[in-house]
Chains A and B, each alone.
Chain A
Amino acid sequence: MNIVVCVKQTVDLQQVRIRKETRQPVLENIPLTLSAIDKNALEEAVRLKDKTGGKVFVVSAGPETLEETIKEALAMGADEAVLVTAAELGDMESATAALLLAGAIKRMEGVDLILLGEGSADNYSGQVGPRLAEILALPQITYVKSMEVDGRKVKAVRSLEDFLEEVEVELPALISVVSEINEPRIPAVTQILRAGRKPKKILKPADLSLKIAEGRSVETLSNLAPVQERRGILFKEGMKELPGLIQALKEEGVGRK
């Protein structure tokens, strides 16, 4: 079975700080990484491959730095990487990402299953999976927390807000996963060393037979840390001021039924 895992390069959000005076995020010199939930998708793909055989291809679009970031995916067990890179793909919107991924996947043969995270760590709009499925005319199963493949059939359990939904679909299909599905492996040093020698195909947007719309469908007017409007009452005298806090809690209606 040939599995494509779509991944996104993002800044390491654990290291993003906010500039207090301007409320802007400080993004300079922050390491780049794979978006967290994409690692769950990759882990699931590698586990499936171990059972059914076949290959895992990691597919991504982004700036040239992507070549370095993708090593982690290869170290985790992907067999090959297919990348669409260009300097201007650093801050790409969902619609463009879906189009480029679709273009790259269309060039590949015998793709049975496309896996990806339910949303990216940075923007978390959850659009790329459904957009990609629509472009490729594939059925989509989103928010999957467990899955199994039996021949050409996939059974998956979707985790929705209020209930679980068990579904079945014939391959090929696109599946997005939630982080609960598994615990992504941490590659060993030997795997990291070997990752550099795995095949990588680098494409340019012009190599793909598709038309990318001029301009953006979504423009960002500002992107700032929100202003916190809080009362800011601080009881500095410690335990003897506990009644004040208890009073505040009571005013919030807790403890009274």
Chain B
Amino acid sequence: MASVLVFSERASLTFELLGKAKELGGQIGLEVAAAAFTPADAEAYLERGTSRVFYSDQAEVKDFEASTYAQALAQIAQKAGASLILLGSTRRGKELAGRLAQKIRAGCLTDVKSLEWKEGKVIGVRNAFGGATEATQVITTQTQVVALMPRAYEPAPEGDKKGEIVTLPLDLTPSRVKVLKRSEKDTGAADIQGAEVLVCVGKGLARQEDLKMIEELAQAMGALVACTKPLATDLKWLPESRIVGLSGKIGRPRLALCLGISGQVQFAVGIREAKTLMAINTDPNAYIFQITDYGMIADLHQAVPQLTAAMKQAG
């Protein structure tokens, strides 16, 4: 039986891929297979309904390295009879996706937000034009490689053990890339992409000193401060790592509050994925009000201190 093969270097993301693989496998008629390189992962994937977990503990696959893992997955895919390979769209997942796809001559989609089986085709949706549009695409090659974004699908639940672990000897050329050390990222660096709540500020902010009250509001809300491009690159009021949008980060927060931002598409792509979007702007015709759940026509300089007080009270 042909299969859908799942792999991510992050077990938690593999669980999400398994959730999707089980659904697609049922629709297409594919067995669900997974690749694992630690015994704990192999066991965990089995617990979540994988029919066959292909496992190796060879020295070459102890550590993730794209070219080695591409070789390993190509061999596993062949053994598993995989026609669809689902990877996680992390940075490592993406570098693996391209290399693996080239190795097995497959078409490939990365950063896929949704994947559905429709009219005999696996159809993926991903951002294009820097996020201004969403492209709906289909891979035409016999084997297909798709890297799915984290949090795109619910993880497969535990307690569905029915498969087996297949230990597979792999024929691997060792990597020429030597890892010297791994270190924590600068903890002071703001994780805009991972933030649950964002307070975004734009050119409606009158003076640099006013950033203080924005920070206070963000703190009261448990939020991170992000900004539009001009605020960082032209005015240099905030570091460029805080830019949201086409030239910066794409956030996926639960809530984003946009202050003094008109909402051009170049900014909007960075917060469009927010579950709830709110805005305060003096201009009733600002485009931002067309894409928000809650908008208020007001001067942010008046509104922010009162919001901060209210949030502190709520806390």
Contacts and interface: CB of A to CB of B under 8 A. Distances in A.
Interface string A199-216: 000000000000000011
Interface stretch (A81-89, A187-195, A217-225): A217-225
Interface string B264-292: 01100000100011101000100001111
Contacts of B175: 139
B36 interface: no
A25 B132 CA distance: 8
B70 interface: yes
Given A95-B107, A256-B315, A220 B137 contact: yes
A169 B177 contact: yes
A215 B278 contact: no
B237 to A, nearest CB: 18
B269 to A, nearest CB: 9
A122 B315 contact: no
A139 B313 CA distance: 56
Interface string B126-147: 1111101111111111000000
Interface stretch (A41-49, A56-64, A106-114, A236-244): A236-244
B170 interface: no
Nearest to B92: A160
Contact of A255 (B134, B176, B177, B221): B221
Contacts of A100: none
Interface in B227-264: 241, 246-247, 254-255, 257
A221 B298 contact: no
B189 to A, nearest CB: 10
Given A219-B137, A222-B135, A257-B222, A167 B177 contact: yes
B101 A242 contact: no
If over half of B's interface residues share one DSSP class (helix, strand or loop), that class is named, otherwise mixed; here it is mixed
- Residue among B132, B241, B303 with most chain A CB within 10 A: B132
Contact of B276 (A141, A226, A252): A252
Contact of B296 (A11, A215, A242, A250): A242
A166 B180 contact: yes
A130 B246 contact: no
A163 to B, nearest CB: 5
Contact of B101 (A131, A231, A234, A237): A131
Interface string B293-314: 1111110001100110011111
A133 B182 contact: no
A40 interface: no
Nearest to B126: A125
If over half of A's interface residues share one DSSP class (helix, strand or loop), that class is named, otherwise mixed; here it is mixed
B212 interface: no
Interface residues of A, number: 85
Contact of B183 (A23, A123, A163, A249): A163
A48 B280 CA distance: 47
B67 A134 contact: yes
Nearest to B9: A160
Nearest to A250: B314
Given A127-B108, A217-B107, A249 B141 contact: no
A117 B63 CA distance: 25
Interface string B96-136: 11110111001111110000000000010011111011111
Contact of B99 (A134, A169, A237): A134
B66 interface: yes
B98 A129 contact: yes
A122 B133 CA distance: 10
Contacts of A220: 135-137
Given A230-B293, A255-B221, A223 B133 contact: yes
B216 interface: no
Given A168-B180, A250-B314, A224 B134 contact: yes
Given A131-B101, A139-B67, A245 B179 contact: no
Given A232-B289, A252-B276, 16 more contacts: A94-B98, A161-B91, A167-B179, A216-B107, A218-B107, A223-B129, A225-B134, A226-B134, A228-B290, A231-B293, A233-B295, A235-B296, A242-B307, A242-B310, A249-B307, A254-B197
19 contacts: A121-B130, A126-B98, A126-B111, A130-B94, A130-B97, A130-B102, A133-B99, A142-B66, A165-B182, A216-B140, A219-B140, A221-B136, A224-B134, A226-B272, A235-B296, A245-B278, A248-B278, A252-B255, A255-B313
